[in-house]
Amino acid sequence: MLIDFFYTLRAAKLPVSVKEYLTLLEALKESVIQPSLDDFYYLARMTLVKDEQYFDKFDQAFGAYFNGVALKAELALDVPLDWLKKKLQRDLSAEEKAQIEKMGGLDKLMERLKELFDEQKGRHEGGSKWIGTGGTSPFGNGGYNPEGIRIGGDTSGNRTAVKVWDQRAYRDYDDQVEIGTRNIKVALRRLRRFAREGAAEELDLPDTIRSTAANAGWLDLKMVPERHNNVKVLMLLDVGGSMDDHIKRTEELFSAAKAEFKHLEFYYFHNCVYDFLWKNNRRRHVERLATWDMLHKFTPDYKLIFVGDATMSPYEVLQPGGSVEYNNAEAGAVWLRRIADHFPHHVWLNPEPEGLWEYRQSVSVIREVLGHRMYPLTLAGLETAMRMLSK
């Protein structure tokens, strides 16, 4: 049975290896869990899934494969009855509740569900007896019952099921969802190159052991400078206009980058990079840094990260004078090529959904200028971008 389960996970695009599958079998052989499907779920997820971003896919594959097993083999519920009664909150009349309660409570409910699985041969909608959708049957989904078991499907809003099969728990860890600061930090850590620098303030345990042994057992402490991420990062951030729709994610990325990189520099631009950049948006008309000076200030070993939705009129990228704020002497595309040539390790992170890029002519132009190094600001896109910068 578990061989088919393994192939089900692989079919769901989960990176499950044979070694991890053998680890699961070894754990089962050692009886590390009770004979419970819930316990098996957690054991299987722990041994087979090594990255939180795949939890949602695992839940779907697990539910699809074990749905029948779950419903037939494990219908015992080890929770207090008082807790279950709190779930019986549907706004039914006292007579309706009393009629349903005549089934005998939770134990009888489980027994009746087993019987229905043996008796029912097809799909059923409505009514009060069979497993199906709608109606007042205790089994199925989309209906009304204060003491039911929801089987498959999404909740209809009543939220009165005492047990829910096929409930997915980790929806926010998929590759394409909006990402938070914690996950951004994890992705940014791919871009690491550690070096020991500064004062000697960290214990060097291996050298201390060797020195103490060579000193006839007298303790001889050895210290070394602390390890720091030595990567130097320059971020150029689009601000204003259509980027107002992406403030939250851009702030999360910026916050995570400041926490992860000791050597981080940043400047702002609007829509496309032209002659000037700035640090303070309120004073951007009086406190500017010439883009030429930025190129002279930062060496080519900096990792350059553009952040912007690249959504603008194509003229703003392709034509001199295309800036919406002033009459720029050179086109934005010229500046982008110049910057990309100076910083060979560069990427562009775009918070716009990737499915919309083909409808933005300016996005296509900027991608072409930067050698197609534009990635969506999702967890998967960020990790791919960090791998590109690490090369």
What would the pLDDT profile of 79-125 be if each residue is shown by its tens digit?
A: 444 443 444 444 345 664 565 565 565 455 556 555 655 565 444 44
Of 343, 355, 349, which Cα lies nearest the Cα of 383?
A: 349
Between 223 and 123, residue with greater pLDDT: 223
SS3 71: helix
- Model confidence, pTM: 0.51
What would the pLDDT profile of 137-179 be if each residue is shown by its tens digit?
A: 554 454 544 444 444 444 444 433 333 344 444 333 344 444 5
SS3 272: strand
- pLDDT for 110: 52
Integer Cα distance of 72 and 58 in angstroms: 21
Of 152-161, 328-337, 344-353, 375-384, which range is least confident? 152-161
**66 falls in which pLDDT band (50, 70, 90)?**
confident
Of 51-55, 212-216, 336-340, which range is least confident? 51-55
- pLDDT for 132: 47
- The number of residues making up the chain comes to 391
Cβ atoms of 339 and 295 closer than 8 Å: yes
What would the pLDDT profile of 14-43 be if each residue is shown by its tens digit?
A: 888 888 888 888 888 888 888 888 888 889
Cα–Cα distances (Å) from 69 to 36, 42, 49, in that order, read 11, 16, 21
